[in-house]
């Protein structure tokens, strides 16, 4: 089979098709491409672009403008000063595209311009499959971010497999409402690229609070897809608001419990599909969590076990990648996920995982949010212990510990257990151990 020399930037049927929605306004492909070409022409010198636009539409314009202007997008996991310094070491010619002022990122800055309404009337651009679109970064063992290149051809194959699995196509364009930022790999794939390459559209904002999520869903047309995380979905259900019907819910970033998946499907009156993947490979598998614990791989993606590690390869995964998860193959294309290797804990010869313990903690009635973690400090008696931070305003310590004893081995009970008003989750609902340790230091003591 001959490899194509280029692939279309968009899968939309016409320039008048919807690409985005903002405040009830429908933004067409023609409008989008007009903005793309003008922003591309204004971009400063430099071969690398850090796009921190908070508006999803402006982020997407900047992404494609950089692509057409010959620049490579930088997608680090965080924008802390140290992360930016490491980016500069990797790409000294990088500049920052922002739609927020003031912007404290220490790079030459290009502010997203004010653009008069215009419509592109030419051809839809095409991109060579070997064109490097982005560098995405994961933390290495030394703390120095490790770059992973994403080419246009691999991204196109990835999104085609996702669209096929989710049942999305240009024949029936969907509108995506994402609670995750476009800079995160999941948001990048499943809100931005999925809209571009499946002929759909996206909501330009990033609703966070339950009322904002419900309002965004209510204003966009059917069929509509909520692209979210377990944290946002739990919060949405806990708010007990009237929820508009969706046509699909997509979840990623952490495993979702079967009970929560059933409740989400009931409240939003649609299927929920979880996505499994990592920054290195992109998304690689899905499951209908309300029906099964098994994950099913995307087409042509394979897992092999070598020297005690699981490797992903094939399909859109261009190089063999060692996964950081504990995986149990159950059939040719299916597997069970038992947590991350780094999350495994061993106390007095008994094993568990932080993922399992967190699931049991958050399943207790009255617990709004909570997380176990392993402190860095070595205990004086040499016996490893776990800590936990929890949001449970209606429970006291004794009742919560008793509920935990009924669910987990007493060896894994947290000492201390700290009650707080809220957990410092980031935009994708994740927590850092340093933030949890800081809460523990400031939050008091427990059993």
Q: What is the pLDDT of residues 279-289, one digit of tens each?
A: 889 999 999 99
Question: Residue 336: CB partners within 8 Å, gap ≥ 6?
Answer: 293, 294, 295, 327, 328, 330
pLDDT more than 90, % of the chain:
63
- Token pair listed for 180: 């995750």
For residue 218, what is the enclosing H or E element?
helix 210-219
Q: Are 98 and 111 in contact (CB under 8 A)?
A: yes
The H or E element spanning position 273 is strand 272-278
Mean pLDDT confidence for 174-178: 97
The secondary structure of 379-428 as a DSSP string is PTTS----EEEEE-TT--HHHHHHHHHTTS-GGG--SSEEE-S-----TT
d(CA 433, CA 81): 19
pTM of the predicted model, to two decimals? 0.83
Residues 208-220 have a mean pLDDT of: 95
Q: What residue has token string 């990033």?
A: 206
Instruction: Give yes or no for residue 381 having a pLDDT over 50.
Output: no
Q: Which of the residue ranges 212-226, 239-253, 293-307, 322-336 would you say has the lowest mean pLDDT?
A: 322-336
- 356 touches 383 (CB < 8 A): no
Provide the pLDDT for residue 380: 41
pLDDT digit string, tens, across residues 98-136: 999 899 999 999 999 999 999 999 999 999 999 999 999
DSSP secondary structure code for residue 341 in this structure = G
| pLDDT tens digits along 9-26 | 999 989 999 999 998 899
- pLDDT recorded at residue 146: 87
- Of 159, 157, 134, 156, the residue nearest 147 (C-alpha): 134
Mean pLDDT of 40-69: 97
Specify the DSSP class assigned to residue 188. Answer: I
Give the per-residue pLDDT at 405: 87
Q: What span, in angstroms and rounded, lies between the C-alpha atoms of 377 and 267? A: 43
The chain-wide mean pLDDT, for the chain, equals: 89
**What's the pLDDT at 345?**
75
Looking at per-residue pLDDT, the higher value among 43 and 280 belongs to 43
Amino acid 446: pLDDT? 42
pLDDT at 269: 97
Percent of the chain residues topping a pLDDT of 70: 93
Residue with tokens 């922003």: 39
Of 72-86, 134-148, 399-413, the one with minimum mean pLDDT is 134-148
Local confidence band at 447 (pLDDT 50, 70, 90 cut-offs): very low
Query: DSSP string spanning 15-45?
Result: TTSEEEEETTEEEEHHHHHHHHHHHHHHPPS
Is the separation of the CB atoms in 74 and 134 below 8 Å? yes
Is it the case that residue 296 has pLDDT exceeding 90?
Answer: yes
Helices (H), 239-341: 258-268
């Amino acid at each position: 089979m001959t490899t194509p020399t280029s692939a279309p930037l968009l899968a939309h049927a016409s320039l008048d098709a919807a690409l985005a929605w903002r405040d009830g306004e429908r933004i067409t492909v023609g409008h989008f491409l007009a903005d793309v070409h003008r922003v591309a022409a204004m971009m400063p010198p430099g071969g690398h672009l850090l796009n921190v636009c908070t508006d999803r539409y402006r982020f997407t314009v900047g992404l494609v403008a950089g692509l057409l202007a010959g620049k490579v997008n930088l997608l680090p996991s965080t924008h802390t000063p140290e992360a930016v310094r490491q980016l500069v070491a990797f790409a000294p010619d990088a500049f920052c595209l922002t739609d927020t002022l003031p912007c404290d990122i220490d790079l030459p800055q290009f502010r997203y311009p004010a653009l008069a309404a215009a419509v592109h009337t030419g051809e839809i651009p095409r991109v060579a499959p070997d064109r490097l679109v982005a560098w995405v970064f994961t933390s290495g063992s030394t703390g120095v971010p490790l770059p992973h290149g994403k080419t246009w051809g691999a991204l196109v194959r990835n999104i085609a497999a996702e669209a096929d699995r989710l049942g999305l196509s240009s024949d029936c364009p969907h509108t995506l409402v994402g609670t995750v930022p476009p800079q995160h790999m999941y948001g990048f794939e499943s809100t931005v690229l999925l809209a571009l390459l499946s002929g759909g559209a996206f909501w330009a904002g990033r609703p966070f609070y339950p009322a904002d999520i419900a309002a965004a869903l209510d204003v966009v047309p059917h069929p509509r897809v909520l692209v979210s995380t377990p944290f946002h979905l739990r919060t949405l259900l806990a708010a007990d608001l009237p929820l508009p019907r969706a046509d699909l819910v997509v979840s990623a970033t952490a495993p979702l419990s079967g009970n929560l998946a059933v409740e989400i499907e009931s409240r939003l009156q649609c299927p929920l599909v979880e996505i499994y993947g990592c920054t290195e490979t992109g998304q690689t598998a899905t499951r209908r969590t309300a029906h099964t614990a098994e994950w099913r791989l995307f087409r042509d993606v394979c897992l092999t076990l070598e020297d005690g590690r699981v490797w992903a390869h094939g399909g859109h995964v261009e190089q063999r990648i060692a996964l950081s998860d504990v995986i149990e193959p159950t059939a040719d294309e299916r597997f069970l996920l038992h947590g991350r290797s780094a999350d495994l804990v061993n106390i007095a010869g008994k094993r568990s995982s932080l993922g399992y313990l967190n699931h049991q903690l958050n399943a207790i009635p009255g617990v709004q949010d909570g997380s176990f973690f392993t402190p860095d400090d070595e205990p004086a008696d040499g016996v490893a212990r776990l800590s936990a931070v929890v949001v449970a305003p209606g429970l006291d310590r004794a009742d919560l510990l008793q509920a935990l004893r009924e669910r987990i081995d007493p060896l894994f009970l947290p000492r201390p257990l700290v009650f707080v008003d809220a957990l410092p989750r980031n935009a994708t609902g994740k927590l850092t151990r340093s933030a949890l340790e800081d809460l523990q230091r400031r939050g008091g003591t427990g059993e």
